[in-house]
């Protein structure tokens, strides 16, 4: 296993600031809050830099810190965001339970509509979609960030996209 | 395995995820599509791919602000060995002396020996001055506009520090940082007076039992080694200005920092 090197660690950390900020911005909904959140996350990452294993995915490691920091603040009532959580003991959905999706996305879908629809998803679903489709993390990496099993990621991601499509169909009707 | 019979749905989902994100081997996507079509589930999976493509292509990507990039860059600059030039004037000796000085006897006191609340705030201001001096990049925001910095603080410290001094020819506003005093977030403005660092710390008076009892307005200063620390209260805020600056100068600056009609007890 390569030895941790602080300089190399910091150099690599710097390359993920944009991604971390974007994720934080989607989590918090505000630029100042996102900047503050990433600031804290970077400080935490630096404080625990020697826990990072060189050669592993720093991006998902940093995103995990960002989301944990966000959730801690959320519990303290710092943010007013749509943070619906999944119910306890939720039975994992199977792919079949979703059924076919007959809806088509609106032709000429606009960024503002997509952003608005994403913004209305509960935080956990929004995070799943963003990590999978915007940041293109693997299912295993997403499981690490969200701190849930891979199987749960798959079923929840499936449902989140389904819900997103429903919301986007609503924009077309509007 | 290429057939869907006997395959768990999650396996298909994993393979589809890889396919729609370009992580599949050549030929795998078409094979998978054929499997899904045979199972009558292709439309369902394509709907997932369509949603993923919409997010990938359209969702806003927010760029990190310059201040955050600078902060991240400052973490790695010099590999932890160098100190920011802005604070070079402070010098290692002063920083070291401050470590010893925290909590030490207050040597200079224009208004008589300060009471306990003043001493507590002065001690925190000394520590904040020291912490800023030891950072490679003391500023978390390098904005030099007072109004912008005051807005910058609001979400970070849960108050908008009331400060009336945007700097002048002699004393420049260099940035700001969030400080910590007795576990409470405080607002620190970084100025330079004749090239020497000055830190103005604004404390919310309700933030600590030690601060609440501080009398209104009374202005006191103390000098430890090369550092002069002044403390005064104005309404719900307590101010502390610290730097290697003569006390009289700090007093003049303090008058500019709080509202113009401020009258200091001395």
Q: Which residue has 């293109």 as its token pair?
A: A136
Q: Which residue has 């509007």 as its token pair?
A: A174
Closest Cα to residue B239, out of B248, B230, B251? B230
CB A86 within 8 A of CB B4: no
Residue in A with minimal Cα distance to B80:
A7
3 state DSSP class of A121: coil
For B68, the closest of A17, A102, A129 (CB atoms) is A17
User: Which residues 38-67 of A are in CB contact (within 8 Å) with B?
Assistant: 38-39, 42, 46
Q: Give the pLDDT of residue A8.
A: 84
pLDDT by residue (tens digit) across B127-174? 888 777 766 677 778 788 888 888 888 888 888 888 888 888 889 999
The CA distance from B180 to B121, in Å, is 12
Q: Which stretches of chain B are DSSP H helices? A: 9-20, 28-38, 42-58, 66-76, 91-101, 116-134, 146-157, 209-212, 247-257
Give the distance from residue B157's alpha carbon to the nearest chain A alpha carbon, in angstroms.
Answer: 10
3 state DSSP class of B121: helix
Contact B75 A111 (CB under 8 A): no
For A107, residues 6+ apart whose C-beta sits below 8 A from its C-beta are: none
* Residues in chain B within 8 Å Cβ distance of A131: none
Q: Which stretches of chain A are DSSP H helices? A: 6-14, 17-28, 31-47, 58-75, 95-98, 111-120, 123-129, 139-146, 150-173
Contact A114 B55 (CB under 8 A): yes
Band (B265; pLDDT cuts 50, 70, 90): low
Token output for A77: 């009532």
CB A123 within 8 A of CB A82: yes
Annotated domain spans of chain A: 6-75, 96-167
Closest Cα to residue A104, out of A28, A169, A27, A60? A169
Give the distance from residue B53's alpha carbon to the nearest chain A alpha carbon, in angstroms.
Answer: 7
CB B158 within 8 A of CB B236: no
What does pLDDT average to over chain B? 77
Is A130 an interface residue toward B (CB < 8 Å)? yes
The CA distance from B91 to B195, in Å, is 13
Is B148 an interface residue toward A (CB < 8 Å)? no
Contact A32 B140 (CB under 8 A): no
Q: Give the pLDDT of residue A2.
A: 62
CB A75 within 8 A of CB A159: no
Q: Give the pLDDT of residue B159.
A: 84
pLDDT by residue (tens digit) across A125-166? 999 999 999 999 999 999 999 999 999 999 999 999 999 998
Is A116 an interface residue toward B (CB < 8 Å)? no
The CA distance from B240 to B214, in Å, is 13
The residue count of chain A comes to 174
Closest Cα to residue B235, out of B198, B190, B188, B203? B203
Q: Is the pLDDT of residue B69 over 50?
A: yes
More confident call, A127 vs B69: A127
Q: Give the pLDDT of residue A110.
A: 79
Q: Give every strand in the sheet of B237-243, ordered side by side.
A: B171-181, B184-193, B196-204, B237-243, B227-234, B220-224
% of chain B beyond a pLDDT of 90: 14
pLDDT by residue (tens digit) across B7-40? 454 488 888 888 888 888 777 888 888 999 998 9
Q: Is the pLDDT of residue B251 over 80?
A: yes
* Residues in chain A within 8 Å Cβ distance of B64: 17-18, 20-22, 35, 38
Kindly write down the DSSP assignment for every residue of B128-154, as one continuous string: HHHHHHHSSS--SB----HHHHHHHHH
List beta partners, residue B172: B167, B192
- B227-257 b/e with 16+ CB inside 10 Å = b? bbbbbbbbeebbbbbbbbbebebbbebbbbb
Residue in B with minimal Cα distance to A101:
B44
Q: How far apart are the first and last CA of chain A?
A: 56
Is B81 an interface residue toward A (CB < 8 Å)? no
The CA distance from A147 to B182, in Å, is 33
Q: What is the mean pLDDT of residues B33-51?
A: 89
Q: Give the pLDDT of residue B203.
A: 94
| Identical fold between A6-75 and A96-167 | no
List beta partners, residue B189: B176, B200
The CA distance from A5 to B235, in Å, is 49
Residue in B20, B47, B178 to test binding to A, most A beta-carbons within 10 Å: B47
CB B191 within 8 A of CB B167: yes
Q: What is the mean pLDDT of residues B54-77?
A: 83
Between 1.10.357.10, 3.10.640.10, 1.10.1740.10, 1.10.10.10, what CATH number should domain A6-75 receive?
A: 1.10.1740.10
Which CATH number is associated with domain A96-167?
1.10.10.10
Q: Give the pLDDT of residue B3.
A: 41
Band (B99; pLDDT cuts 50, 70, 90): very low
Is A37 an interface residue toward B (CB < 8 Å)? no
Q: Is the pLDDT of residue B81 over 80?
A: no
Give the distance from residue A77's alpha carbon to the nearest chain B alpha carbon, in angstroms.
Answer: 13
Q: Give the pLDDT of residue B2.
A: 39
The CA distance from B135 to B139, in Å, is 9
Q: Give the pLDDT of residue B202.
A: 94
Contact B140 A96 (CB under 8 A): no
Residue in A5, A6, A8, A14 to test binding to B, most B beta-carbons within 10 Å: A14
Q: Is the pLDDT of residue B102 over 60?
A: no
* Residues in chain B within 8 Å Cβ distance of A115: 58-60
CA B96 to each of CA A42, B33, B247: distance values in angstroms, whole numbers, following the listed order: 27, 68, 22
Token output for B87: 């604070």
Residue in B with minimal Cα distance to A110:
B58
Is A162 an interface residue toward B (CB < 8 Å)? yes
Q: Give the pLDDT of residue B165.
A: 87
Q: Is the pLDDT of residue B112 over 60?
A: no
Contact A98 B58 (CB under 8 A): no
Band (B262; pLDDT cuts 50, 70, 90): low
pLDDT by residue (tens digit) across A13-67? 999 999 999 999 999 988 888 988 998 888 888 888 888 877 778 999 999 999 9
More confident call, A172 vs A68: A68
């Amino acid at each position: 296993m390569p030895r941790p090197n602080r300089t190399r660690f910091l150099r690599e950390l710097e390359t993920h600031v944009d991604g971390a900020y974007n994720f934080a911005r989607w989590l918090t909904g505000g630029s100042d809050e996102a900047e503050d959140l990433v600031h804290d996350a970077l400080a935490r990452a630096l404080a625990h830099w020697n826990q990072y294993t060189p050669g592993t995915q720093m991006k998902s490691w940093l995103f995990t810190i960002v989301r944990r920091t966000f959730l801690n603040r959320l519990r303290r009532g710092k943010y007013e965001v749509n943070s619906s959580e999944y119910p306890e003991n939720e039975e994992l959905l199977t792919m079949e339970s979703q059924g076919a999706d007959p809806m088509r996305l609106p032709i000429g879908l606009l960024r503002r509509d997509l952003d608005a629809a994403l913004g209305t998803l509960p935080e956990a679903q929004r995070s799943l979609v963003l990590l999978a489709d915007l940041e293109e993390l693997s299912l295993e990496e997403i499981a690490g960030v969200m701190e849930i099993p891979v199987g749960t990621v798959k079923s929840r991601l499936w449902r989140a996209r389904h819900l997103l499509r429903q919301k986007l169909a609503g924009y077309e009707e509007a | 395995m290429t057939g869907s019979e006997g395959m768990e749905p999650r396996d298909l989902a994993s393979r589809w995820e890889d396919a729609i994100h370009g992580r599949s081997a050549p030929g795998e996507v078409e094979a998978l599509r054929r499997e899904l079509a045979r199972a009558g589930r292709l439309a369902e999976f394509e709907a997932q791919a369509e949603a993923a493509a919409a997010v990938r292509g359209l969702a806003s990507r927010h760029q990190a602000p310059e201040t955050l990039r600078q902060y991240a860059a400052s973490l790695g600059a010099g590999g932890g060995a160098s100190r920011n030039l802005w604070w070079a004037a402070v010098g290692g000796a002063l920083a070291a002396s401050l470590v010893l000085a925290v909590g030490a006897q207050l040597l200079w006191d224009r208004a008589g020996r300060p009471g306990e609340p003043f001493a507590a705030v002065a001690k925190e201001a000394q520590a904040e001055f020291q912490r800023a001096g030891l950072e490679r990049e003391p500023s978390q925001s390098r904005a030099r506009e007072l109004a912008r910095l005051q807005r910058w603080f609001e979400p970070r410290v849960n108050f908008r520090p009331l400060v009336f001094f945007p700097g002048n020819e002699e004393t420049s506003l260099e940035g700001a940082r969030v400080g910590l005093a007795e576990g409470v977030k405080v607002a620190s403005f970084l100025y330079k007076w004749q090239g020497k660092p000055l830190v103005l710390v604004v404390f919310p008076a309700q933030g600590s039992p030690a601060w609440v009892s501080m009398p209104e307005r009374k202005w006191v200063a103390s000098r430890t080694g090369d550092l002069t620390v002044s403390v005064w209260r104005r309404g719900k805020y307590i101010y502390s200005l610290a730097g290697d600056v003569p006390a009289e100068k700090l007093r003049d600056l303090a008058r500019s920092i709080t509202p113009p009609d401020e009258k200091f007890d001395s």
